[in-house]
Amino acid sequence: MELPGGLLVDGQLCCDFSFKPITGSIERKILESNQNVVSLVTHVTNMLNVTLAQLAGMPANKELISSLCSGDRQYLILQLEAIINPASKWLTLNCQACDELIQLELIPGTLPVKPAGQYFPATTTQLSIGEVSLRVPNGADEEALLQQPDNEKQRLKHLLKRLIFQANNKVEIGQLNPDDLDKIDQTLEDMMPQPSTNISTTCPYCNSPQQISLDIFAWMNEKNSDIENDIHQLAIHYHWSEKDILALPKTRRKHYLALIEQASHQVFEELV
C-alpha cells in the first residue's frame, strides 16, 4: 500500500507501507500500548508502532513513525481502522434546517484523500525577510508541541520555529508580518497530504446542504476487541493454548467463536 505523502530516503520519496496480520497477540499489544497514554500524538505513534510491519522500505519503528508527516499519520490510522473494524458505520445528525434525523453510511478506509503537493515535504518561499525553506510538520513536531505551555499562539510560534529556516539558521518568528504568515500557511497546506475529515451531504427531507465533521481518531478509544473473553471461550471448547489462540488472525478467531455459538444453539434446540 502507498502513503499519500511518504518519507524521503536518500533524496527519494518512499511511500510503501504494510501492516502486520492483525492477530490476537497484536490486538492485545494494541490494548497494552494504550494504557496510561495521555496524548493523542503518543497514542497514534504507539498504535502504528504495534501494527505496522514496513514503512518506506524499512522495518517500522517509533522514530520512523514520528518522522511521518501529520497527514500520512492520519491516513494510516484510517487504513488501520478499515482492517480492525471493517464493518460500515452509521453516522447520525439532525438537519440544521429542518431538524429531521439524517443517517449516513460510512465505510472505514474510503474517505477521500488530498494528495501531497508537488514540492512535498519541503520547499523554499519568498517572505518579507528574504527566501526561507520550510517543511511540513510531522509526528515529532506534534510531540514537541506538547512540551510547550498550553497557549495556542505560543505553540504556533514554536512550531514555525521548527519548520522554517533561512540559510540553515532558525528564523525569528516575531519578525514575520501577517502576509508572511498567510503565505506560510498556504504553502504548508498545498504540500501536506490530507484525508478529508468533512463529509458533505444533502438532507433527504428538505434538500439543504449539510456538513459533518468527523473525528477520525475516535475509534481508537472504543473497545475494539474482547480478546480475553475470546481466549477463554476458545480454550474451554477446543483446549487450545493461549499462545495458539493469540496467533490466529482476528477473522479466523471470530469464525471459530461463531461455530461454538452455533453448536451451543443446536444443543439447546435438541434439549427443548
Instruction: By CB under 5 A, name the binding residues for Zn ion.
Output: 95, 97-98, 203, 205-206
- Give the nearest distance from C-beta 205 to Zn ion in angstroms: 4
**Total length of the chain:** 272
Euclidean distance between CA atoms 59 and 55, whole angstroms: 6
Smallest gap from Cβ 97 to Zn ion, in A, equals: 5
Q: How far is the CB of 213 from Zn ion (least distance, A)?
A: 18
Place of cell 492483525: 22
The residue type of 265 is: H
CB 81 within 8 A of CB 219: yes
The DSSP letter of residue 108 is T
The smaller minimum CB distance to Zn ion, of residues 100 and 228, is found at 100
Our CB check for Zn ion shows the closer of 97 and 107 to be 97
- For Zn ion, the closer of residues 96 and 241 by Cβ is 96
Count of C-beta atoms within a 10 Å radius of residue 195: 19
Half-sphere exposure of 191 (CA within 13 A, CB side): 22
Choice between 92 and 147, CB closer to Zn ion: 92
CB 46 within 8 A of CB 33: yes
C-alpha cell read off for 138 = 510531522
C-beta closer to Zn ion: residue 94 or 229:
94
